[in-house]
Amino acid sequence: MPLAEAWSAGSKKGSGGPSLPRLPQGKRLVAVVAGALALVLVVVGAFHFIGHGKGKAPSQKIALALTFTNGQSVSYNFTMSVAGRATAKGIAAPVTGQLTGTSSWHVNSVDKKGVATITVKTGHVARVTNGRQSSQPPQSFHLRVAADGHVLAQVGFGTTSGKTDSGPGIPGSDQVTPILPTGPVAVGEQWTVTFDQTNPMGTGVIRYTTASKLLRFEEVGGVNTAVIWTTADLPIDVSLSTRKALAATGLPAKGLPKGTDPTYWMKGRMVFSQTAWLDIQGRSLVKSNTSGSFDFTVRATHIDPADQPPGGKLQIQGTIKLEFVRT
């Protein structure tokens, strides 16, 4: 997302700083490396939750699980921001950006085990990248979510930040719902879950180690909600295929040399915390706030050597924040 622009800006003459190698931009699609920060327009928790009762006392237990209905749709406003830097051979470039827009979620089907297949569509999104304003075209994503909240496979949220700068997103950012307990819980009760998320866009799996807690019951805009807090720790060691990433979001592979498939190898760690306000009676998300940090080493194969960063790898570090409100 902002990386290619930041890297290129740093190479201008008279900048007073070190001369940074310029990454190609536009339709050449070599911004797939920059796409390692093409963060997901991931809207957190746009699903419906099972809850029983209203105005429960703290000592009472409540069952929390996801449920979906065929044909169900819901929309949310979101704001996502990222701040960080990318470093190659001791030369650093700033990476900052913000995305603001809307997202609609449509449940296509639900199987016998309660696993929902969902299509996520974004409208035009306002984008600020390293201080520059632009817009991002509509995109669509697909995912499958189980009744206990975990996403069954990495589906490439953040795969692209637009038709002209496409690339892999941050692995693990697809887990957009809290991981829920296997039975009823009371306020203050905690639960832990560890699971592996598969990676159909390349090699490797993502191991989630999560801890969650029911914080309280709270009224928000006249709606009685259960407030759930979740933290997750994700060691990352995966590869991401550009062609598979583009296909996942319905974008063409124009600009890629015939017979090639630029592939990005990412190793490092991501951690995040999420607070979600769930409508107990209406069984839907009212709002959520998510924040996290990441630290990856990114290498690329099957791209022009001239497009490689110095030393052939990038160290990418930063923080992410996402605010999400039901419309």
How would you write 242-261 as a 3-class SS string? Answer: HHHHHHHCCCCCCCCCCCCC
Structural domain count, the chain: 1
**The pLDDT of residue 8 is above 60:** no
Most trustworthy range by pLDDT among 21-30, 57-66, 75-84, 225-234: 225-234
Q: Which residue has the higher pLDDT, 18 or 176?
A: 176
**The pLDDT of residue 190 is above 80:** yes
pLDDT of residue 109: 94
pLDDT tier, 50 (very low <50, low <70, confident <90, very high otherwise): very low
In this predicted structure, which of 35-44, 234-243, 260-269, 271-280 has the lowest mean pLDDT? 35-44
pLDDT of residue 126: 87
What is d(CA 191, CA 56) in angstroms, rounded to the nearest whole number? Answer: 20
pLDDT of residue 111: 93
- Residue that is written with structure tokens 């390293």 in the block: 130
Average pLDDT of 4-23? 36
What's the chain's average pLDDT? 74
Q: Which domain holds residue 207?
A: 3-326
pLDDT of residue 192: 96
**The pLDDT of residue 81 is above 90:** no
CB 116 within 8 A of CB 26: no
Q: Which residue has the higher pLDDT, 230 or 80?
A: 230
This model's pTM is above 0.75: no
Average pLDDT of 165-192? 77
pLDDT tier, 156 (very low <50, low <70, confident <90, very high otherwise): low
Q: How many residues does the chain have?
A: 327
What is d(CA 23, CA 318) in angstroms, rounded to the nearest whole number? Answer: 20
Nearest to 162 by CA among 140, 136, 124: 136
Average pLDDT of 214-242? 91
Q: Which residue has the higher pLDDT, 286 or 185?
A: 185
Strand partners, 274: 230, 290
pLDDT tier, 267 (very low <50, low <70, confident <90, very high otherwise): very high
pLDDT tier, 55 (very low <50, low <70, confident <90, very high otherwise): very low
pLDDT tier, 318 (very low <50, low <70, confident <90, very high otherwise): very high
Tokens coding 58: 């703290």
Tokens coding 212: 């969650």
What is d(CA 1, CA 36) in angstroms, rounded to the nearest whole number? Answer: 8
CB 184 within 8 A of CB 62: yes
